[in-house]
Structure formats: structure tokens, C-alpha cells
Structure 1
Amino acid sequence: MTKRRVVLKREEPPPPPPPSNPSMASANSSNTIRVHVRYGECQRNHAANVGGYAVDGCREFMAANAGTGDEEEETDGTLTCAACGCHRNFHRRVVETEPSSP
């Protein structure tokens, strides 16, 4: 059996450029942007050690201790998925931004 190497590239949008005009920066300082990060489906390849490709089908990341109120701190339980048991880094990262004013 021949092993195959698969390379996956992830593209994220570039950060917005800083304002070029200092007077514009002070005028726009009242506007803020809310960034919400969530983690989607699991992309872990469970058959990588045998040269195949198989994912478990976990649809969305759920922290292992989601009900304890420790969502602000990143402990071992919050970095482990309760559904599939893998680390949060194996899940697709989805960044949602929305403008908001004070």
C-alpha cells in the first residue's frame, strides 16, 4: 500500500488596514467591531496512520465542561470537544464580525 500525503491550506481574511489619516482614526473611535469566534465541524483525519482518510462527522465543537461557567478561561476541559473527544484545533474556525456602536 502506498502512503499519500495530503496538504490542506486554510485561508483566513487579512486584518483590516489601519487608518491612514489620524483625524479619521479619532472620528471612527466611537465605532467598534465585535468579533465572535466559533468552531465548526471536526476535520481530524482518524485514518492518517494507515494512509487513509476518515473523519468522525462531529458537526460542531462543544466544550467538555460547557455547563460549569468556565467558558472565559481556557482549561483542558474547554479545549476538548465533548462530542468527539479531540482538541479544539481540529475543528474549523469560523470568525464572525459585526460593527457595533456604543
Structure 2
Amino acid sequence: MKNRQVVIKKDDQNSSRNTTNSAYTVRNVRYGECQKNHAAGVGGYAVDGCREFMPTGEEGINGALTCAACGCHRNFHRREVETEVVCECSSHSSLGSS
């Protein structure tokens, strides 16, 4: 299974010229078990038991969206997002007179 990591940078608009504030939101996206209902056509409910998404190809090609274990599209797999906010606290520049 392949984990994805997305980094979003947020700049603090209220920072003064001597202070630098920045915060990053780090999101790890993981695709879990397949939730496709294979018996929907006959009015039932049955899943295939695929425990995690495994892409059939490399990132950037069509195979990256198809599961090697069950053959379903990635959208049928449960999406798990872990979000973490990382803050680089302000650094004050010292203004001294010489």
C-alpha cells in the first residue's frame, strides 16, 4: 500500500516585519479496505474482503488508481486521513544599536 503525504503552507498575515511565523499542515492519506458492494445488482450486500489498496502501477499512470488485489477503483476503498499541524514558532531578529 502506498501512503501519500501532502504539505500545505500557511503564512501568518498578521506578522510584523521583524517576526516570521509559518505553519504547515501535513496530511497522510491511506486507503484501507474495499467497500464495494458486489451484490448490489441482486439487492444484497457482499464485499470481497480486500483489506487494503495496492496500486497496480506507478504513480501518474492509470494503473495507480486500480487495486491489484480486487481490481476496483481506488474510490471504493475507505480513505483514512491523518492531519498534523507543524508550527515553526516565530523568530525575532534582534535590533541593536552599535
Do both share a fold (TM > 0.5)? yes
Q: State how 1:1-102 maps to structure 2 within 5 Å.
A: 22-23=13-14, 29-65=21-57, 70-71=58-59, 73=60, 75-101=61-87
3-state SS, counterpart of residue 23 of structure 1: coil
Structure 1 counterpart SS, 2:65: coil
CA distance in 1, matches of 2:20, 2:35: 39
- Find the structure with the greater CA-based Rg: 2
- List runs of 5+ in structure 2 lacking aligned partners: 1-11, 89-98
1:90 positional shift = 0.4
Q: For each residue in 1:11-43, what CA deviation from the matched residue of structure 2 results, as whole angstroms up to 9, or x when unmatched?
A: xxxxxxxxxx9416xx78422011111111100
1:72-99 CA-partner distances (Å, limit 9, x unpaired): x2x2200000010000010011111122
What's the % identity of the aligned pairs?
Answer: 62
Q: Which runs of 5+ in 1 are unaligned?
A: 1-20
Q: Distance in 2 between matches of 1:95 and 1:28?
A: 29
RMSD: 2.7
Which protein has the bigger strand share?
2
Aligned residues: 77
TM-score (norm 1): 0.63
